[in-house]
């Protein structure tokens, strides 16, 4: 065991420093996302979704840095990452709407002016919708119409359509009697 530590002392030290630094960066990013969520009065479930995205980003960075630390050259790393991204690109092209909705979900987290409980009107020429926002998920919004119908509206479409705020906080704490 001592021989292994002596032989790979530099790599182990670099690994410990990298993991520690990435944990600090992850903590700071999550704290910033939490602060933005609190300041913008964003529901905590949406903030937790941002935490998942931060975890994935940190994981990719960790794999890259640790591969370099353990002797993998930039040529091999670029080959592996380009191959992985090519496969992911082909797979995601086949399901581009999912990627579009995830990206839109991130944009909605930081810049969507409406909150859960707000009554909105989506100005769609083919099918205008007037409803209350029940939930904001990673891929879609849950909207409840005045008739009680639940509509699942994709995040990428909500960014493409004009939306009007009709009333703020129509119901709070799950009290749907004010519909």
In angstroms, the Cα distances linking 86 to 25, 68, 93 are: 28, 21, 10
The mean pLDDT value for 47-57 works out to 88
In angstroms, the Cα distances linking 120 to 31, 42, 123, 135, 166 are: 30, 17, 10, 13, 5
More confident: 108 or 154: 154
The mean pLDDT value for 124-138 works out to 89
The CATH class, in words, for 113-167 is mainly beta
The mean pLDDT value for 53-69 works out to 89
- Calculate what percentage of the chain has a pLDDT beyond 70: 93
Residue 138 pLDDT: 80
Residue 94 pLDDT: 63
Q: What is the DSSP letter of 166?
A: E
Look up the pTM and report it: 0.55
In angstroms, the Cα distances linking 136 to 6, 16, 45, 85, 104 are: 52, 38, 9, 29, 11
pLDDT tens-digit map of 71-85: 888 788 888 878 888
Residue 173 pLDDT: 46
Residue 171 pLDDT: 64
Beta strand 162-167 pairing with 150-154: unpaired
């Amino acid at each position: 065991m001592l021989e292994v530590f002596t032989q790979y002392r530099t790599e182990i030290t670099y690994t410990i420093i990298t993991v520690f630094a990435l944990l600090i960066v992850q903590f700071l990013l999550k704290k910033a996302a939490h602060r933005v969520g609190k300041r913008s009065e964003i529901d905590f479930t949406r903030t937790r979704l941002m935490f998942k995205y931060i975890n994935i980003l940190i994981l990719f960075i960790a794999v890259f840095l640790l591969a370099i630390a353990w002797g993998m050259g930039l040529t091999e790393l670029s080959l592996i990452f380009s191959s992985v991204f090519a496969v992911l690109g082909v797979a995601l092209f086949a399901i581009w709407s999912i990627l579009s909705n995830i990206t839109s979900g991130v944009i909605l987290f930081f810049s969507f002016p409406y909150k859960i409980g707000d009554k909105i009107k989506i100005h769609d020429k083919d099918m205008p919708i007037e409803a209350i926002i029940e939930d904001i998920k990673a891929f879609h919004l849950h909207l409840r119409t005045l008739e009680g119908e639940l509509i699942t509206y994709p995040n990428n479409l909500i960014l493409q359509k004009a939306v009007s705020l009709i009333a703020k906080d129509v119901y709070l704490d799950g009290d749907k009697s004010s519909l």
